[in-house]
Structure 1
């Protein structure tokens, strides 16, 4: 869908929460002048924001009506599960704007009252994705309305990307993928790699103890660390008992002995340093290739630069694939041809073969054209990652409304602290254009067999071929990026569950030209907020809808990035 450049620019600003009042007014004027823009704009908003429309800061009647129609058409498959829900706006004060209340302007009350009498209205409103506009700042807060209760979780400031031979204290057992909150970390031995929310990366070599203060500041009590702060992560600060070191766009090492004596080695770029509590005018600059030793009194002495680089430490760790950690794997490794579903028992971590949905598991649309067999083909995916999938057996899913379920041997428990990843390879054989795209969807959903409709977690794309994550209570988080057409893509999702606090869900889709590193990406296409799930997911549901045949392969579920990602076992 192509818009005039200015409309595209304004729409992106609104969807990203960066539009000013002037931008909003300009877009509304442009819509009024060209009614043909409204349907296209509606499709974009429906896919990207879904039902957050109700809280969008513009109210062109034609656009609102078209969005409602688009949502009703595109999301009809979820109607059955929410028909008994209600949406109550009576307690919402039109005149109040706060962080904890959703504001529904009076100009929407007539619209809500009109559609609330139909099943479509319940579908549209009960599935609100919860965009809350703070008009004082012109920003959009994506926390779902259903979860506006203050979360107990302190916002994480870093992620543990990689660990090798790490020995932690008995009361702290970190693992790859863990999200780290402010606090103290002690490493008795081994090496760990952290990435901070601000973009800086750090290697920590035990024995060491550091305090995570913020996304741009740590305290090193003792031990060795190497910091790499590329463009955009400048200003990362390392505080020791004797000094404060601040990067100026660089890579540097800090070594702290137990008596507080500190060495600083600049591997690239520059750092500033000063004695603890020294005034700004006493700050000094250290350049690449230089090193200093700072004694317990804060006095610096030049020393030869002798620290390994960040990449050298990672090479020593020698990150490699950990497919041995997989908890479930389906490679569809069968001979080409027709395979009865009860014969689809290959793989690990499953409690039975694939099957069609049961009548009690069906939602709208009621049409289910799932055949009672698999069609297995070979060599029909172009795969650029080091994985056998795409060359041997793979599942060819026919056009239509096709749904397959497979039970897991070990459930994914979201009522405890833990991290779970999955990956899946997908190839769209063709991409319909125009209105023909309205029914094209593909999803991988985790559900609970004994409580099929209460909570679920779904990763996929809808009519706009944009990645999204949908959770129980019909909350949806979507990406503005569009999947590359008619090529093999690799889906990778991450679920961070917490026994007490906010869960986090991440989703990224890789195209054939995208490389995979030894660690998860710094940027995901989709990241959730305000999610609280407690289910024990014990099955996966593969859903394919539309006129397009699709190829599916290499479904992996595991506890770490390296267990599910087909990484090349070389670093940088």
Structure 2
């Protein structure tokens, strides 16, 4: 971590903040230093990231922060010891300082975006370090949950809680890279990042836990895997279970420590009773849902689409597609009409995808700004996950020096807040921006090749919000459900925006071809047709 040499005082203040000993006067001094020196702000942010990571892994951290910080785009929280009250207070204070300083940065970069001290206090209040998220509901289409269960939706982050599925199939992806496919009626209690309790119903385990075992408990036993795929069913009384091993090896043991542990290999199955009776049974893989329903219908989850099927006409005035309120128009009268507004009659090709004759694309080039209103806005003040996808291609220009311009697809609200997705920013690499918070990848969009960009907007009513993106190269297999790892992700912030329009904007940009924009509430609704 690079430390500004002229800021020994900065290091001292960050240390006081970490120890919870920073008084009001010192906090104002810290804020002033960061507001006036970008290097000081970078050092502070890296210190917060590093301390938080070390605490997640090792408990309370009192050592000085003097090593390289982790990658902030891919945090993995593991449930271990509960944070002490002092650490919780430190994290809340750190987030408050970040938001207060961020107010000036946002105003400078975005114009009318501001964050007040009351906003910072609210973010700190909504950040609850005691309720760590340990898994993601990666697939949940067509599911009906018990009335007593909490609100459930695909893409939802989950803490230690109970899932009560009445009908349907759902996939729970734990942060330790283990998934459980459950089929209703099932009750599954999430205990920790590496542990769950199947109270009743069916679950199929799949994971590559080479180093750390995952424990799946039942009312009277526990099952440990060794890089395995296996299924477990527990009857409604909780007294009888079956284990079917499809791949790898498992061993299970009764809660009664007097009973010897049993090992099962691939192709074996066993019926076990709470009283200790057990017997071999035939393997029955057909009795279990081993993954999401193939090519499940996603029409009701798709809320917006634009295929640009306008036969080579100008985009301004066109009003096709689904989920829009009116047609395309210029969002900036000072921008003159040019090639940037021409729609191509050729769709962007993608391996394995059927290219319909009625699909086209739009060519962004030079400087332009086009907008279109949404029929249903994207609400960041609700507990919901939205998914956005589009195809992009950079034509082969056969020039030695590319432009230093940029092109973005953005979601806008009336106050100027935005989520912006760039297939190729000034450095030529994809970029993601959420109200000033920026993330980017290191791999440039290659000329003549297509990419599929899929974003997840994780919105919350009472928690902070975050945006992620996955970039698929031409020829790369697209995940059938939401991936565990993303190409880039913005920092969590508090955002209650209501985005009611989409803009296509470019500034001195080389030509960039955009096609097939979709927004939906499930992963499958925006990736259908790309998954082989």
Q: TM-score, normalised by structure 2?
A: 0.75
Q: Is the 8 A contact 1:267 1:309 kept in 2?
A: no
Q: Is the 8 A contact 2:437 2:490 kept in 1?
A: no
Structure-2 residue corresponding to 1:306:
284
| In structure 2, distance between residues paired with 1:101 and 1:462 | 42
SS of 1:175's equivalent in the other structure is coil
Deviation at 1:566, TM superposition (A): 3.1
SS of 1:562's equivalent in the other structure is helix
| In structure 1, distance between residues paired with 2:479 and 2:531 | 9
Structure-2 residue corresponding to 1:376:
343
Structure-2 residue corresponding to 1:261:
240
Is 1:442 the counterpart of 2:387? The answer is no
Structure 1: 5+ residue stretches without partners = 1-55, 62-88, 103-108, 360-366
| In structure 2, distance between residues paired with 1:564 and 1:502 | 24
Q: 1:515 to 1:390 in 2, by over 3 A?
A: farther
RMSD across aligned positions (CA): 3.7
| In structure 2, distance between residues paired with 1:477 and 1:503 | 15
Structure-1 residue corresponding to 2:18:
98
Structure-2 residue corresponding to 1:344:
318
Q: 1:260 to 1:131 in 2, by over 3 A?
A: same
1:155 aligned residue (132, 142, 150): 132
| In structure 2, distance between residues paired with 1:318 and 1:414 | 30
Structure-1 residue corresponding to 2:174:
196
Q: Is the 8 A contact 2:371 2:502 kept in 1?
A: yes
SS of 2:291's equivalent in the other structure is helix
Deviation at 1:212, TM superposition (A): 0.7
Q: Is the 8 A contact 1:419 1:495 kept in 2?
A: yes
Q: Is the 8 A contact 2:315 2:328 kept in 1?
A: no
Q: 1:259 to 1:284 in 2, by over 3 A?
A: closer
1:528 aligned residue (487, 490, 497): 490
Structure 2: 5+ residue stretches without partners = 23-28, 52-63, 74-94, 100-119
SS of 1:176's equivalent in the other structure is coil
Aligned length: 457
Is 1:409 the counterpart of 2:352? The answer is no
Is 1:550 the counterpart of 2:506? The answer is no
| In structure 2, distance between residues paired with 1:131 and 1:431 | 39
Q: Is the 8 A contact 1:323 1:562 kept in 2?
A: no
> Counterparts in 2 of 1:505-544, with a 5 A limit?
505-544=467-506
Q: 1:544 to 1:446 in 2, by over 3 A?
A: same
Larger displacement relative to structure 2 (288-297 or 246-255): 288-297
Is 1:223 the counterpart of 2:231? The answer is no
Structure-1 residue corresponding to 2:394:
428
Q: Is the 8 A contact 1:199 1:233 kept in 2?
A: no
Deviation at 1:432, TM superposition (A): 9.0
1:329 aligned residue (297, 305, 322): 305
Structure-2 residue corresponding to 1:30:
none
Q: TM-score, normalised by structure 1?
A: 0.71
Deviation at 1:256, TM superposition (A): 1.0
Q: Is the 8 A contact 1:376 1:396 kept in 2?
A: yes
